[in-house]
Each structure stands twice: as structure tokens, then as C-alpha cells.
A and B are shown apart, each in its own frame.
Chain A
Amino acid sequence: MKGETIDDRALVLDRDDTVATALADLEAASSLSYDGRTIELTENVPFGHKVAMEPIPAGDPVRKYGSVIATATEAIQPGDWVHTHNCESNRGRGDTTAEVSDR
């Protein structure tokens, strides 16, 4: 598997990433040891979902695969579940584009 596995329970795909992917159902108050730090989960994170490994201020990019996958819509703390409730896509957003044309 590409990336770095944490305690067999999560995966960081690239060193620049700010989130890890859960490889099991992770429970609130459990912890992950990563990069010399202990990150305590603030809530449950289901298998396949993402947990923040760094603080991400509102408006800052969320990184996975070494690329930007979203922008935080609120301040995200390490150990938070990261999904559609606290970050959003920057692409394919016809709803935010004022111009509606036949171009």
C-alpha cells in the first residue's frame, strides 16, 4: 500500500497530507500515534472516512494524495472527522458561478 500506515488503523497517503484515511471503524477518544505525536479522536470516524492529522483553519486547503481535495468550511482540529459537514469541493460548482450561458 502506498503511504504510511498508522497503528494498522489509518493511512496517510503522502507526507504533505493533512488527513488520514481510516482502515477500520475508529472510535471517539481512541488515539493514533503519528509523527511523534498522539492524536486523540474527537468523534467516531467510520472505515474509509478521513480524520484530521493537523489543525486546518476555516478557508484553508485539505490535502490527501499530496493534492488539495477540499477547502475547510470551519476550523478543523486534529482528531476531527473530515467530511462534507466541515469542508467542500472547489470544482464543478455551477451553483457558485454567476454566469449561466450557452457557451
Chain B
Amino acid sequence: MKLIDGHNIVSRVSTLFKQLNVAPPSLEKISFIQPDMDDYEKSLAEVLDENMRIAASEGRPLCQDCGVAQLFVRKGRHVDFTDGYTLTALLEEGVKQAYGEGFLRKSTVDSPFERNNPGTNLPAFIHFEECDGDELTIYGMVKGGGSENVSALTMLSPAAGREGVADFIIETIRSAGGKGCPPYFVGIGVGATFDTVAIEAKKSLLTQEVSDDQLKELIEEKAQSLDFGVLGFPGKHPIKDIFIRTAPTHIAMLPVAVSLNCHSYRCGKIEF
């Protein structure tokens, strides 16, 4: 049994979420400027590049919407924790510390109707996955309301195939327009069930995998018909990157989820 110090989890999760807000590993090698941009689109892309540079060098949040905190955990069966706390409690303590100490905006409210803000950015939204051995991997994701609100899920007929999936994704991006702050990092889940396909879409943003090249090519081809660019203004670059995870599903189903992520693409992971 691998015994991990609970304090260590709290402090590393706290560090991760502060880092995700100012200098996320997912944006490390990213520039939004493209050689084929006209001056108009380029001048907007330059602001986004400058935004990343300032955030990292001055420790300012990339975006004033510091998002909800999401965690995706892979936990081996030979891992346990000191101090008698649940892993959920340790993760949430780390998130709470990050948002407090990091002067980050707390956006999570306690109910969809009363909407009181406890000022902690809790609860965090956490998914667990069991695995063998003594691995503990914690992926963190910070995602704001703008791009979450334009994400979508549908249940297609299996006959729709890749063509139907690609059409749904393009229409989702078209109707999102500038609302979700493009250029988008597009996370796609295909297969599984109604509930789990959305998790697959988000996981693709974490792992940056493309498990179906044919679908990606089809989406890129159809994306030529989109008529907006950086931040929804005139231009040619509404999409920055596309990630896809496919999963087993039912004989009668073709679930599709698309998680649009804004240009502030804030994902990272820690391993123990």
C-alpha cells in the first residue's frame, strides 16, 4: 500500500489551480497568431498572446472568470491517505486554498435558483476512475461560464455516422459564434452513454488525444464554412485545436458531446 500524506495533496492541488489560472501547461507552447491572418484578425490574436504573457509574468489570472474547478482522478487500488480524510475532502481543501490565496474569482454558487455564493469556489466537480497499481494522477481543469454555456450534447442515430457527428459539431460551433471566446479548443466525446459522453469530451481536453483521425479531418473540412475568427469577429480562425475520444456504446445509440473551451484553455495534471 502506498500511503500519501493528505497535506501534500492539499498543497499540490492548491498550487495546480493557482498555476492553471495564470500559466497553465496546456497553453505553454500556444500562440494564437497564424501566418494567414489578415491584419484585423492578427491584431486581436496579438492581444490574446500578450494576455498569456502578462498572466504568466505578473501572476494575474488569464481571465477574470476563474471558472469552476474540475478534477479528474485516476486512483490505483494500492493507494491510501494519511489523516483519515476522504480524497474528495483533500481535493476540495486544495481548491479552496488556491482560490483564496490566489485572489481568484469564486464563481460557484450553492444552488441553481437561490444562487448564493459561499465564496470558496466549492464544491469542486470531481470524477474518479479506479485503476490497478499505486498510481494517483489528478487532472485539473478550470473552465468559465462562457464556453461551458455553448457546449452541447446530442443523441444521434447510429446511421448518422461520422458525417452526422461532424455536422453536429460544426453547427454547435456556428451557433456559439463569439459567445464562448474563440479560437476554440474543441473537446469531443463520441459513444458511451448520455451521461458519460460529456465526461469523454472533457477528458479529451485533458489528454489531448485524437482517437479518430477520420472524424477530425471531416470536421476540419466542414469548418471551412464557418464565417468568423478570433473572438467571433471577422476572420478565418474559429478553431485552435480538436481533440476526440471515442468509447463503446449501445447498438441503437450514437451519443455525441462537444465541450467547447475558450482561448483560455486551462488544464494540467499532477502525479504522485
Whether A associates with B in a native complex is: no
